[in-house]
Amino acid sequence: MDAFGDVKQLQQETKRKAQAIDKLANPPMVADVELKNQPASTIPGGVTYVSKKDGVGFTPAYQNFRPPIAEMMQDITQIQQRIKEIFFNDLFLMISNLDTVRTATEIDARREEKLVMLGPVLERLQTEAQDKIIDRVWGVMSRGGLFPDAPPEVANAPIQIIYVSMLAEAQNAANTTGLERFFAQVGNIAAVHPEVLDIPNWERAVTSYGLALGNDPRNINSADELDAIRQARAKQQQQQQALEAAPVAADAAKNLSETDVGGGQSALQAMLYGGGALQ
């Protein structure tokens, strides 16, 4: 509705411009009355024989007709630009419409500015329209028994609507800027004070970062999967340590077995049997 007036004006001016061009290319003609019901040609190279006694002949109805097509095109361009601004076209194509190559910092700033401008519009569309439509459809289908039984894990859990359109993902991706700055700042401070590495919840932050970029949640390990991976890694490390310690223990046992402590016993036998005679 905001663009309705401009759209009607654009249609009317486009129609008038086309009529003006048509009159230039195929103008209305004025002919002597004697030409009525006589052959007349307006095609290139055609010949029409007329009487010149009245000086009328066969001429265009408009003499020196020069419609202001350039001015009309300029006004049409302005109207088109207003319509693009109403539909946020300049925000959607902000980077593509740049005349010159800009720095990555400026492009990031323009992207954040675009999302700030589009944020309220997108959020109102989601909360005031799409959420209500989805809730209504879900309720109708649920009461109609159109859904299969929910898994026990989510049977009584509240359902949250998550939008995955390109615009919604772009808006979520803008939140990663804060995380990136936080990670970078912690890394810089850690070079002087390593204890600051204990402040961030790295697992949660990295998970949030991956989800904000629009990655499939299935590509991110859950808490249970992380525990299983860590337990397997700890077990593998213990086995590795046992394997590394085995040669050392074997060498020590060999040395003890070769060490005579008297009484016909080695140091190893003394440790095993407490110095008693071998049976």
Q: Please report the pLDDT score of residue 99 as a whole number.
A: 62
Q: Which residues of the chain fall below pLDDT 70? A: 45, 47, 50-57, 90-102, 104, 106-113, 115-116, 166-167, 170-171, 173-174, 245-246, 248-279
The first and second tokens of residue 236, run together, are 């593998």
Q: Taking a C-beta distance cutoff of 8 angstroms, is the pair 30, 56 a contact?
A: yes
Over residues 210-256, the pLDDT tens digits come to 877 777 778 888 888 888 888 888 888 888 877 776 676 666 666 66
Q: Write down the pLDDT at residue 12.
A: 93
Q: What is the pLDDT of residue 254?
A: 65
- Which residue, chain included where needed, has tokens 């109102």? 124
Compute the C-alpha angle 184/190/196, nearest 5°. Answer: 100
The predicted pLDDT at position 276 comes to: 47
The predicted pLDDT at position 9 comes to: 92
For the chain, the first-to-last Cα distance in angstroms comes to: 106
- Give the number of C-alpha atoms closer than 13 A to the C-alpha of residue 119, restricted to the C-beta side: 12
Q: Are 100 and 30 in contact (CB under 8 A)?
A: no
Give the whole-angstrom CA distance, residue 209 versus residue 164.
Answer: 15
Query: What pLDDT score does 8 carry?
Result: 93
CA dist 95 to 80, 85, 103, 108, Å?
19, 15, 11, 10
* Torsion sign (Cα): 164, 167, 170, 171: negative
Encode pLDDT of 157-189 as tens digits.
787 777 777 667 766 766 777 788 888 888 889
Give the C-alpha separation, 256 to 215, whole Å. Answer: 60
The predicted structure's pLDDT at residue 55: 59
- Give the 3-state secondary structure of the chain: CCCHHHHHHHHHHHHHHHHHHHHHHCCCEEECHHHCCCCCCCCCCCCCCCCCCCCCCEEECCCCCCCCHHHHHHHHHHHHHHHHHHCCHHHHCCCCCCCCCCCHHHHHHHHHHHHHHHHHHHHHHHHHHHHHHHHHHHHHHHHCCCCCCCCHHHCCCCCCCCCCCHHHHHHHHHCHHHHHHHHHHHHHHHCCCHHHHHCCCHHHHHHHHHHHCCCCHHHCCCHHHHHHHHHHHHHHHHHHHHHHHHHHHHHHHHHHHCCEEECCEEHHHHHHHCCCCCC
pLDDT the model gives residue 213: 76
